[in-house]
Homo-oligomer: A and B are copies of this chain.
Amino acid sequence: MNHSLFTSFPIHDLTLLAIATGPEGETYTKALAVAITLVTVIIFTSAQLFGEMGVRIGLPAVLGELIAGFVIGVSGFNLLMLADGGQVAPWLVSAVQSISGSDPATVQEIFSGPIRILTNEYASVGVGVLLFKIGLEADLKELIKVGPQAATVAVAGVVLPLAIGFFGLTTLFNLATVPAIFAAAALTATSIGITSRIMQDMGVLNTQEGKIILGAAVLDDILGIAVLAVALGIAEHGTVEVSSVLSIIVSATIFVLSAIALNKYFGPRYINFLSSLKNPYSVLIGAILFLSIVALIARAIGLEEILGCFAAGIILGNTKATKALEQACDPLVALFATVFFVTIGAKTDLSVLNFANPESRVGLVIALFLTVVAILTKLAAGYVVFTKVSVNRLAIGNGMVPRGEVGLVFAGLGAATGAVTGAVNVAIVLMVIATTFVAPPMLRWAFARNQKPLQPTEKNSM
């Protein structure tokens, strides 16, 4: 089930939630059921529509879902209320009211209360399952083969954007330390999903470049999520205390290394045990159970549940049930991660980037700065790759550019903790959109530039 699990993400600001019973209970329950169903229809209709439009013009569906969120959320028609102080569109309130026979005040309260809890909770399930699946897909064995080259690209691809981003944001834009760290952390992400999809379409997944890119992207996920854990820790404390940062870095490192070790020694045994059970679905339920326990351990030692979800995926990767688990996660990701991406869009208030307002113009400049840093630092990371073989360094750098869904996870969590607000948050989302938008054509161009025919290192086995 992997419910939510995130400290500050899902139900931020929720401090009092009282339940009372009374004669009006039945109307309330009916209105709630109608509202939930209508919101479901709105989220999935918009996600389908804009996701399809995105795919048709060559963009990842996830960008379309984000835009669907802009349209139905606070920047658009106000059909979801996910932050304090908003109002849901009057026609939606009327619709719920007339179908359920309720009154406007009750319906508004339903949108600001339970609908908000449930939407955020479903989004949390989505991001948790998504990270579990990314962990499952992180092929540690394959990673070791291209280890040194991938490691140099990944480390450079994390250190360069983090350092340059943080330095630029604090000196050029006078940003406070916490939002600057968060925005810089968002620059470190790489979307393994988008990159691998493009390379698969181009048939270059098994070239030397393709393997280095994938290996670096996996390492980047591991490093990036550790960076995220540190950034969230800092955001939670509100200040940067060297001792607490060090303690988070140490525990995150131990946590991830333990997961890698457990992948070898525990993962296959646990899967064998689950496979020996006679109850159908034992493997899936056992995996979700394990995911919940690892998330709980992460929380108990002061890390984020999201790191636990990822670590659980790492541990259960490369077993005989991994493929089946990935497939079982697909419908969950399809439904719940869609809710996650749509809600990120819905929460992003684009009106803070009003051109007419000089103050908000700064947000656009920050977005531009983040985008340039995001692209240039990953391209630079491609050039530090440590190898004697001649490789297409431009292609490698380009492969690391799209931030995609991983960047959006950073943006969503940053906004949810309150560490990043207003224009900076919107700037991060725009940077993710821009990098994801430019990456596919750039990657195609970089691979095409390579005049000599690409040398697959082995028969295409994908």
A176: interface (CB < 8 Å): no
Give the one of A36, A61, A289 with max B CB within 10 A. Answer: A36
State how many angstroms separate the Cβ of A145 from the closest Cβ of chain B. Answer: 29
Interface-forming stretch among A112-120, A349-357, A402-410?
A112-120
Besides A13-B25, A19-B112, 13 other A-B contacts (C-beta < 8 A)? A4-B36, A4-B37, A5-B33, A14-B28, A15-B19, A16-B20, A37-B296, A44-B285, A48-B282, A99-B296, A284-B335, A328-B330, A331-B332
A137: interface (CB < 8 Å): no
Assess whether A285 is in contact with B1, with CB atoms less than 8 Å apart.
Answer: no
A249: interface (CB < 8 Å): no
Assess whether B118 is in contact with A117, with CB atoms less than 8 Å apart.
Answer: yes
- CA A64 to CA B280, docked complex, whole Å: 12
A254: interface (CB < 8 Å): no
Assess whether A334 is in contact with B285, with CB atoms less than 8 Å apart.
Answer: yes
Interface-forming stretch among A50-58, A156-164, A222-230, A428-436?
A50-58
A22: interface (CB < 8 Å): yes
Assess whether B37 is in contact with A299, with CB atoms less than 8 Å apart.
Answer: yes
Instruction: For chain A, give the interface size range.
Output: 35 or more
Q: Would you call the interface of chain A mostly helix, strand, loop, or mixed?
A: helix
Contacting residue for A1 out of B12, B40, B329, CB 8 A = B40
- CA A34 to CA B110, docked complex, whole Å: 24
A29: chain B residues at CB < 8 Å are 7-8, 10-14
Contacting residue for A3 out of B19, B22, B37, B280, CB 8 A = B37
6 contacts between A and B (CB under 8 A): A4-B36, A5-B36, A13-B19, A21-B84, A45-B289, A56-B278
Contacting residue for A19 out of B113, B295, B305, CB 8 A = B113
Assess whether A299 is in contact with B34, with CB atoms less than 8 Å apart.
Answer: yes
A99: chain B residues at CB < 8 Å are 296, 299-300
- CA A185 to CA B33, docked complex, whole Å: 24
Assess whether B285 is in contact with A47, with CB atoms less than 8 Å apart.
Answer: yes
A172: interface (CB < 8 Å): no
A121: chain B residues at CB < 8 Å are 36, 118
Assess whether B11 is in contact with A22, with CB atoms less than 8 Å apart.
Answer: no
Assess whether A21 is in contact with B13, with CB atoms less than 8 Å apart.
Answer: yes
State how many angstroms separate the Cβ of A192 from the closest Cβ of chain B. Answer: 16
A206: interface (CB < 8 Å): no
A71: interface (CB < 8 Å): no
